[in-house]
Each structure stands twice: as structure tokens, then as C-alpha cells.
Structure 1
Amino acid sequence: MFAAAIFDMDGLLIDSERPIMAAWIEAAHTLDIELSHSQYLQVVGLSTVESEQILASLLGGPEAYRHAIEHVRRYLQLERADGSPLFPIKPGAAEFLSALRERGIRCAVASSSTRRQIEACLGSLGLLHHFSAFAGGDEVARAKPDPALYLLAAERLGVAPADCIAFEDSENGARSALAAGLRVVVVPDLKHPTEAITGQAFHVLESLHDAVPHLPHWFPPAPAEKLA
């Protein structure tokens, strides 16, 4: 059994990858460039620096990239017409986090987003209280797939990496967790990880809904006071 759970955020807890992809495709249209889904998927799971380099190349250079990212920022600041969040909670995420909380399992987030972005996003969705620790991309020198984010998250939880399960949607995220010594549950989002990664995964699930039945096997039962 495991003592803690560490989660990626984008594409795993929140459905952010699709709106962000839509924003970049629309930004490319303003430059009279057709940016396809498959082209955009090249940057999913990469660091900010790597993503910038690829997108600048696809859009025609640094100046075009600067124009596009300003459009993306404006797009992502707009609220949906019906008042719903731009980045909704992924299916099963709230249910699974609540179940972990009931069992007294400590949880953390290890995300390439900044610490401020993590707390703002999860706070706006009412999920922040489920987490005891956070590790943001602005707090480490090297991004995923380097293990630094997961090592920092485990350290802040006070739990050995080997005693944690990581939940990831991207290949680079899974590589990061594996390199840090965690077991990894892969829940693919826009881009399915390669067989090399899924072959090393503890489990591969369709959604976090599917993780709930595994709780009794992965995590110890709640202390007696939790059951009272």
C-alpha cells in the first residue's frame, strides 16, 4: 500500500489542454496560418521553453509567436458565456480526491504551471483543500521529464517517493515521476503516451472515475476517527 498521492494538474485534474489548444489554433488563424491538432500536440507535456521553440517554428518565427501568445492570453481571460469555468474539473477528479480525503491520504500537486497558477486554478474550482503540498514549475530548475518536481512534492509531503503514487496524463510527466521513484498511474488526455511508458505504468485508466475502485488496494484504510 501507498502513503500519499501526487497529481499533475493540466489535463489530469482540470480540462485545460483543449481550451489552450483551441486558443493557439485561433491565434494561428489571425496570422493566416493553419495550425492542426497534430501539430499542436507536439508541445503537450513539454516545458515552456521547449513549447515556445516549437510553436515559434510552426508560426513563422519569434515575432509571430509574440503576436500569437498575446492573442492566447486574451482568449483565456474570457469567461464562457454560460458562466462555467474555462478549465472545468476532469471527470472523476473531485470524486477521487474526496475519497482520498476520507481515507486520510495526503495529496500533493506537481505541475509545470507556476505555484501561483496552481493555487489560483484549483482554488477557483473548490479543489485546493484536498492538497497538503504543491510543487510548481517555477520552483525547480528543470522541468518534466526531470524528476525535480516530483521529488520536491514528495519532500513537502514528508513521504518517500517510493511510498507515493503519481497520477499523470502526459508522457513527460510519467517519465518525471518514474525517474523520481514513484509508481505511476497514467490517465491519458489529448495525447496517449507511448507503449514504452504505459508498459512501465502501475496502471493505465480511462479516467479518475476508474481509480476509485482501486482505493482499498492502493491506500490504507482511514484512521478510526475518520470513520466515526
Structure 2
Amino acid sequence: MDNLVPMNMLNFAPTGFIFDLNGTMINDMEYHTRAWHAIINVDLNKELSYEAVKQEMYGKNQEVLERVFGKERFTRAEMDDLSLDKEKRYQEAYRPELALIAGLDKFLAQAKQKEIGMAIGSAAINFNIDFVLDGLHIRHYFNAIVSADDVVASKPDPETFLKCAEKLGLSPSACIVFEDAPKGVESALNAGMKCIVLTTTHDVHEFSAYPNILGFIKDYNDPILKELF
């Protein structure tokens, strides 16, 4: 585990795990970036580099479009259509590769056995969350789901994770968040939650501003995770 904060800083026994979805449970962010890059550049003629597109990919799909094109460019109906088109392209490309990040299947089973409440807190729409949960047959592990459709304010606002804790019937401080993006870690910080970061999407140095990180893992086989139980 790279750049691990000593786990003895974890001075409580967590009773809730909250997972971001894309890049955290499945390693699919490249496919999202490709889909957005094609829509932004080929369909909408914006001429934005792949790296520039990647930096804009946080929050709701409509927010991505507004950041890139401005708030007056599209109607809500047009943004909804573009959002669904983007997700269909993503799913078509990623479906043959759909898989949990290594070790997550065993980690979820162990957490369930230990009666730890689990939730998904994602900026994805339900169309994508269903694609993953039902495609991988893991819906039964989760006691709560909070999607883009369930919140007013996107990450880094804490609403997503606070709603997860509320649905689990837990205090925010009893929960640990699993994330892959700086904005998600900031959301957890704003919610008063500790965080473990998956290094699937961003480099470790991009998280230097966040004091709530317990450690960085490349997958769920990392032995340090045993200390969470």
C-alpha cells in the first residue's frame, strides 16, 4: 500500500462502508472518458484534449456539460439526452470488461458477514448503477444506494455521503468512504468521514490536500484492509 497513513489513527471500529462506484468498485473510468471525449469533440465540436476531458469528469453529467459548454448551451431535455447517449456508449464499450476490482468480492462478503452496513454513494445515474449491480450480481450486499438522482448538490458537497449514512442509520463518523477521486475525498472530508483511496484514476500526489485519508490501495487484496474489521 503506497503512502499509507498508519492505521492506528483509526481509533474507532467502523460500522459502515460507503463506496463510490466508478473507479472505486470497477476500474472503468477510461471508458467514461472515452465516451465523453467522443461526444464533446466529435458530436459537439469542442476540441478538448483527453486529459482536459478527464479533469472535468466529476459530479452529475449535466454539470459536466455545463462546465464545458456553459449553462446556456443546452436545454435540460438536451442534456438528459446527451447524458443517456453517453452512458449507452460507455456501457456498450465496457460491458465485455465488466468486473469488480480485484479482491472486492471477498471484501464485500467479509463485511457482510461482520454485519457492517454498506452503501453506494455515486454521482452516477441509476441506469449505470443498475448496470453494475445487476451485471455483477452484487446488489444484495448493499443496504442503501444514493445516486445522482437522489441529491441536489454533487460532490464535493457532502450530501451524497451524508444521505448514505442516514439511510444506513449510522453517524457519519462511524463510516469509512472508499473513493478514487479528489472531489470524492473532499466530499467525505466535508461529511466528517475518513477515506481510503483507490489509485485507479488519480496519482497519490493529487490527494495531498486531504487530511482524512487513511491510505491508498491499488485493489482490495491489500492486507491492510483486514484491520478495518
TM-score in same-fold range (> 0.5): yes
Check whether the contact 1:186–1:205 (CA below 8 A) recurs between aligned residues: yes
- Equivalent position of 2:55 in the other structure: 42
State how 1:30-69 maps to structure 2 within 5 Å: 34-56=47-69, 62=74
> After the TM superposition, which of the residue ranges 115-124 and 164-173 deviates more from structure 2?
115-124
Q: CA deviation at 1:111?
A: 0.8
How many pairs are equivalent? 209
Quick one: which of 71, 92, 100 aligns to 2:103? 92
Q: Considering only aligned residues, what root-mean-square deviation do their CA atoms show, in Å? A: 2.7
Once residues 110 and 68 of structure 1 are traced to their aligned partners in structure 2, the CA distance between those partners, rounded to angstroms, is 23
Once residues 32 and 139 of structure 1 are traced to their aligned partners in structure 2, the CA distance between those partners, rounded to angstroms, is 31
Post-superposition, which runs of at least 4 consecutive aligned residues in structure 1 deviate over 4 A?
30-34, 65-71
- Equivalent position of 1:75 in the other structure: 89
Is 1:16 matched up with 2:28?
Answer: yes
Q: CA deviation at 1:11?
A: 1.1
Among all aligned residue pairs of Structure 1 and Structure 2, give the percentage whose two residues are the same amino acid: 26
CA displacement, residues 4-48 of structure 1 (integer Å, 9 cap, x when unaligned): 111001111123321111122333245666542211122132343
SS in 2 for 1:214: helix
Which structure: larger Rg?
1
The amino acid across from 1:136 in the alignment is S
The amino acid across from 1:142 in the alignment is A
SS in 2 for 1:119: helix
Is 1:214 matched up with 2:224?
Answer: yes
Once residues 73 and 112 of structure 1 are traced to their aligned partners in structure 2, the CA distance between those partners, rounded to angstroms, is 13
SS in 1 for 2:130: helix
Structure 2 residue runs without a partner (length 5+): 1-12
CA displacement, residues 43-67 of structure 1 (integer Å, 9 cap, x when unaligned): 132343431123336xxx659x979
Structure 1 residue runs without a partner (length 5+): 220-228
- Equivalent position of 1:105 in the other structure: 116
